[in-house]
Structure 1
């Protein structure tokens, strides 16, 4: 148990002393950038999934006649 407590203390010390945090404006800009790319990527995956679904449905309808 002491190992876990020591690990947590060292982790907080690392975050407090050695991590360079972005300024608020940069954090907002990067958050918006991540959100936009996430939406674009999810729409691309949705589109590919829709196309494959229609192709597979058409294929099985063609096989079953």
Structure 2
């Protein structure tokens, strides 16, 4: 149990003193970038799915 307590204390000390936290404006910029990239990726996957669905429907209707 002493090892766990020591680990938690050292971890908390490192978080307080050694970690550099980004500014709020940097977090907003990163979040916006992730949101836009996710939307673009979702639209691309949706477009590919739509195209494949229509191509396969045409293929199956030809038989």
TM-score range, shorter chain: 0.7 to 0.9
Unaligned residue ranges in structure 2 (runs of 5+)? none
RMSD (CA atoms): 2.7
Runs of 4+ in 1 over 4 A off after TM superposition: none
**TM score, norm. by length of structure 1:** 0.73
How many residue pairs are counted as aligned between the two chains? Answer: 61
**TM score, norm. by length of structure 2:** 0.75
Residues 11, 62 of structure 1: alpha-carbon distance in 2 compared, 3 angstrom cutoff: farther
Unaligned residue ranges in structure 1 (runs of 5+)? none
